[in-house]
């Protein structure tokens, strides 16, 4: 098993990779999410290494199939391998991805210490995606998908998802 510290992605494949998005958060491409750890072309075939956000993330199977379909549309056969190491971290999400996520209504992950303070303590650090207030509180440590927690804004009352920091 090879340890990949920085994704080894063939630049010529980026335009196709960018067309595949997370089925749960459609505004994020697989590159924004940082789940593609390798994408290379060898002998006319594409080899992709994909890492899950969470072990049981059901989106992974869909993403794998979507990647194969996207390359098939360009006449390329793609092989997708699921790798577990090194384990995915929210640090691998792109800044552009985080901004798109916020605009979509999901608060982007805070850095580790702040994340602990909001999920374990009652710190008010997560910004409401609706009104921008930080007068927000944790409703549930678990949200609509494995990667999110549920928050509510005490100013505008809007409930929203927060993407948990994972390191």
Partner 1 sequence: MKNENLYKYILGIADNSLILGQRLGELCGHGPNLETDIALTNINLDLIGQARSYYQYAAKLYGDNKQEDDIAFLRLEREYRNLLLVEQPNTHFGYVMARQFLFDIYHYLLMENLQHSKDETLVAIAKKGIKEVSYHKRFSSDWIKRLGDGTEESHAKVQEAINNLWRFTDEMFYLTEADKAVVDAGIGVDVSNLKETYYKKVSEVLTEATLQIPENKYFTKGGKEGLHTEHMGYILADLQYMQKTFPNMTW
**Binding test (CB under 8 A) with partner 1, winner from 73, 113, 144, 157:** 144
Residues between 103 and 132 that touch partner 1 (CB under 8 A) = 120
Task: Please report how close the Cβ of residue 56 comes to partner 1 at its closest, in angstroms.
Answer: 2
Task: Please report how close the Cβ of residue 14 comes to partner 1 at its closest, in angstroms.
Answer: 26
Residue 59, classed as helix, strand or coil, is helix
Question: Are the C-beta atoms of residues 75 and 41 closer than 8 Å to each other?
Answer: no
Using alpha carbons only, give the angle 132, 133, 135 rounded to the nearest 5 degrees. 150
5 binds partner 1 (CB under 8 A): no
Question: Are the C-beta atoms of residues 151 and 162 closer than 8 Å to each other?
Answer: yes
Task: Please report how close the Cβ of residue 109 comes to partner 1 at its closest, in angstroms.
Answer: 13
DSSP symbol at 87: P
Question: Are the C-beta atoms of residues 127 and 143 closer than 8 Å to each other?
Answer: no
58 binds partner 1 (CB under 8 A): yes
Residue the block writes with tokens 């850095």: 111
Return the number of the residue (73 or 113) whose C-beta is nearest partner 1.
Answer: 113
14 binds partner 1 (CB under 8 A): no
Residue the block writes with tokens 């194969």: 68
91 binds partner 1 (CB under 8 A): no
Residue 30, classed as helix, strand or coil, is helix
55 binds partner 1 (CB under 8 A): yes
Instruction: Kindly list the residues in this chain that would bind partner 1 in the complex (CB under 8 A).
Output: 1, 52, 54-58, 83-88, 120, 139-144, 146, 150, 166-167
């Amino acid at each position: 098993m090879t340890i990949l510290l920085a994704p080894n992605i063939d630049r010529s494949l980026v335009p196709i990779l960018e067309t595949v998005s997370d089925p749960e958060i459609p505004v994020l491409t697989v590159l924004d999410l940082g789940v593609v750890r390798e994408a290379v072309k060898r002998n006319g075939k594409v080899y992709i290494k994909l890492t899950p956000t969470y072990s049981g993330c059901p989106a992974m199977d869909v993403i794998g199939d979507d990647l194969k379909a996207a390359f098939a549309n360009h006449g390329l056969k793609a092989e997708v391998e699921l790798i577990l190491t090194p384990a995915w971290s929210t640090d691998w999400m792109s800044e552009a991805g985080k901004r798109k996520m916020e605009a979509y209504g999901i608060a982007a992950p805070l850095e580790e210490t702040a994340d602990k303070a909001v999920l374990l303590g009652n710190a008010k650090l997560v910004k409401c995606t609706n009104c921008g207030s930080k007068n927000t509180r944790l409703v549930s440590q678990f949200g609509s998908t494995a990667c999110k927690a549920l928050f509510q804004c005490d100013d505008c009352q809007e409930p929203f998802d927060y993407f948990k920091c994972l390191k």
